[in-house]
Structure 1
Amino acid sequence: MKFSIVIVTYNRINLLRRAIDSALNQTLPCEVIVVDDCSSDDTQAYVQNRRNDRLQAGDTRLIYHRNSSNRGHSASVNAGIAVATGDWIKLVDDDDYLAANCIEEMAKAIALCPSVVICSCQAIQVDANEVEISRTRQVGLEKVSYIPQQDIHYGMLLELVPFGTPIQVAFSRAAFLKSGGWDSSLDANFDDIDSWIKIAQFGDAVFINQCLAYRTHWSGAYNQMLSLQKRLETNLLIKKKIYALVSDKYRDNLPKLEEIEAYIKLHWSLVALKKRKLLYAANLAFPAMMYPVAWQLLWQRVRGTVFPKSPSLDTATIPHDLRMQVSSRSNP
């Protein structure tokens, strides 16, 4: 199993240094591809100089790819994966970084489940000074949770399976290519979740209940600058895509699509309230308030529990024979 780490960057050389360091310092060495989306700062000179230094030391792992024009985040992800030679891809945005053992732990989990096409882990959210703000939640009780393909989209729909942002996720390059790659029309606005939805059609998933990645939270993030309405509309579109892919085994107990949409509107009404957009929040919440299931889903999200009237996932943990192998490998 070979990993390629793909780092997408644009005019953030100070943050990029940390991302590259975290990729090159993995306990399981792997290829590191920096995709420069036509930066106008010193990114090109910095990465090329760093690559030359490593080549002189006999290390060929660092690769630099520069777009001829500014193409956006999604197109840059696709470009990096086109260059990659690994059969597994780990994405890193330039403002995020990895724990030193991230790739090693992911490789161990994936090796136990040959049918897996997507792997995720917990992440620590930090501020600009690398001070911890929060941690993403666990999936299941074991160190490694196994999720069969037929359970994934149901879990994503009801937010029981939080694959999360790119810094948390690794995926099979073959499954990615089958999925058609990232959609530039969703650039930096659920483009990652859209990709996980498509990749998950081609195999199973594993989730590692260990913080192996760090995500930087800052107010200038591109998706935070999009209008609430745009983010709401894209969120609804993503939920419709997931809904259509939910396995037949869950159809009898699945909330109606309009109930899911009402829940999404309730959620975004709370976001609007937090931003003091009172009229917008009221306009969203009022029609959605008529759906009891929407309130149950919202409460589930707040508490991080399973939707009470739906069956739980078939397995929240890796199968017994594989679980024993995980335990023996993970415990000293």
Structure 2
Amino acid sequence: MKFSIVITTHNRLTLLKRAMNSALAQTIPCEVIVVDDGSSDGTDMYVQGRRKELLDMGDTRLIYHRHATTLGHSGTVNQGVALATGNWVKLVDDDDYLAPNCIEEMVKAIAGRPDAVICSCRAIQVNENENEISRSRQVGKGTLLYIPQDEIHYAMLLELLPFGTPVQVAFSRSAFLKSGGWDTRFDTNYDDIDSWIKIAKFGDAIFINKCLACRTVWTGSFNSKFTVEKRLEMNLIIKEKIYFCISEKYRHSLPKLSDIKSSIRLHWGFVALKKIKIISALKIYLKTDFSMAASRLFIKRLVARDCLDKLLKESQENTLLFVRENR
């Protein structure tokens, strides 16, 4: 099994250096492809220089590709996967980074499930100073969770299986290519989740209950540019896509699509209120059906997340930020 790490970047050289260091420091050495979406901040000079240093030491792992014109995040991901020679691909956005053993843990997990096409792990959310904000939740019990193909979309719909952001996910390159790659119409707004939905049609899934990556939450992130209303709109589209992918085996136990959509509107209205965007919240709630079924789905989600937050606050586990250990 060969892994390729694909790092996408655009004008964020300081953050890119951290992402590259984490990829090159993996306990299982693998191909590292940096795809530069037309940066103008010295990224080209830095990566080319780093590549030459490695080549002088006989290390050919680092590959660099630069777009002459900007393609956007989705197009840049597609280009990186096209260049990859590994049969599995690990994505990393330039503002995120990996634990040194991330690829090693994924290789072990995938070896035990040869029919898997997608593998995800937990992540630590950090701020711009690399201080922990939160952790993505554990799924099920035990270190590893294997999900048969016919159960994946059902679990995704009810948010029992949160694959997460690109830094958490690896996938079979062949399944990615069969799926058609990332849809550029969704650029940075659920383009990743849309891809996981499509890839999951081709095999089983794996979830590793370990924090093997760090995701930076900051004001300069791509998806922070979208309004609450736009995020809601795309969330509804994605949920509907998942709904119609669900196996016949589970269709009899599904909530109504209308109730699911209403619960999502309740969620995003709540998000708007938390952000003190009162007008946005009112617009969302005016279009929401406050049915009992939708309210139950929303409350169930809210309670689950609240319980997780309490557990994290009570935990005395020390956070080890991966890059600081490996600089």
TM-score (normalised: structure 2): 0.91
- Superposition deviation, residue 283 in structure 1: 3.1
Native 8 Å contact 2:5 2:23 kept in 1 = yes
Native 8 Å contact 1:15 1:95 kept in 2 = yes
- Superposition deviation, residue 102 in structure 1: 0.1
Native 8 Å contact 1:96 1:215 kept in 2 = yes
Within 5 Å, give how 1:81-230 maps onto structure 2: 81-230=81-230
Q: Name the aligned partner's letter for residue 59 of structure 2.
A: D
Mean Cα deviation higher: 122-131 or 224-233: 224-233
Q: Name the aligned partner's letter for residue 207 of structure 1.
A: F
Q: Name the aligned partner's letter for residue 212 of structure 2.
A: L
**Paired residue for 2:40?**
40
Q: Distance in 2 between matches of 1:254 and 1:34?
A: 42
Mean Cα deviation higher: 140-149 or 290-299: 290-299
Q: Secondary structure at the match of 1:11?
A: coil
Deviations 1:64-89 (A, max 9, x none): 00012111000000000110000000
Q: Distance in 1 between matches of 2:101 and 2:64?
A: 23
Q: Secondary structure at the match of 2:244?
A: helix
- Superposition deviation, residue 131 in structure 1: 0.5
Q: Name the aligned partner's letter for residue 115 of structure 2.
A: S
Q: Secondary structure at the match of 2:114?
A: coil
Native 8 Å contact 2:229 2:280 kept in 1 = no
**Paired residue for 2:50?**
50
- Superposition deviation, residue 279 in structure 1: 2.9
Q: Secondary structure at the match of 1:122?
A: strand
Q: Distance in 1 between matches of 2:115 and 2:304?
A: 27
**Paired residue for 1:272?**
272
Give the root-mean-square deviation of aligned CA atoms.
1.1
Q: Name the aligned partner's letter for residue 67 of structure 1.
A: H
TM-score (normalised: structure 1): 0.90
Q: Distance in 1 between matches of 2:48 and 2:97?
A: 20
- Superposition deviation, residue 288 in structure 1: 2.9
Q: Distance in 2 between matches of 1:44 and 1:279?
A: 44
Give the fraction of aligned pairs with identical amino acids, expressed as a percent: 63
- Superposition deviation, residue 286 in structure 1: 4.5
Q: Secondary structure at the match of 1:128?
A: coil
Native 8 Å contact 1:47 1:64 kept in 2 = yes
Q: Secondary structure at the match of 1:200?
A: helix
**Paired residue for 2:77?**
77
Native 8 Å contact 1:182 1:192 kept in 2 = yes
Q: Distance in 2 between matches of 1:127 and 1:32?
A: 25
Q: Distance in 1 between matches of 2:119 and 2:210?
A: 12
**Paired residue for 2:309?**
none
Deviations 1:175-207 (A, max 9, x none): 000000000100000000000000000000010
Q: Distance in 2 between matches of 1:280 and 1:64?
A: 42
Mean Cα deviation higher: 280-289 or 29-38: 280-289
Within 5 Å, give how 1:221-300 maps onto structure 2: 221-300=221-300
**Paired residue for 1:19?**
19
Native 8 Å contact 1:289 1:295 kept in 2 = no
Native 8 Å contact 1:5 1:23 kept in 2 = yes
**Structure 2: runs of 5+ lacking an equivalent:** 306-327
Native 8 Å contact 1:23 1:32 kept in 2 = yes
Native 8 Å contact 2:228 2:280 kept in 1 = no
Q: Distance in 2 between matches of 1:152 and 1:166?
A: 18
Native 8 Å contact 1:288 1:294 kept in 2 = no
Q: Distance in 2 between matches of 1:303 and 1:147?
A: 24
**Structure 1: runs of 5+ lacking an equivalent:** 306-332
Q: Name the aligned partner's letter for residue 7 of structure 1.
A: I
Mean Cα deviation higher: 262-271 or 295-304: 295-304
Native 8 Å contact 2:116 2:204 kept in 1 = yes
Deviations 1:87-118 (A, max 9, x none): 00000000000000000000000000011000
Mean Cα deviation higher: 285-294 or 186-195: 285-294
Q: Distance in 1 between matches of 2:303 and 2:124?
A: 19
Q: Distance in 2 between matches of 1:28 and 1:296?
A: 45
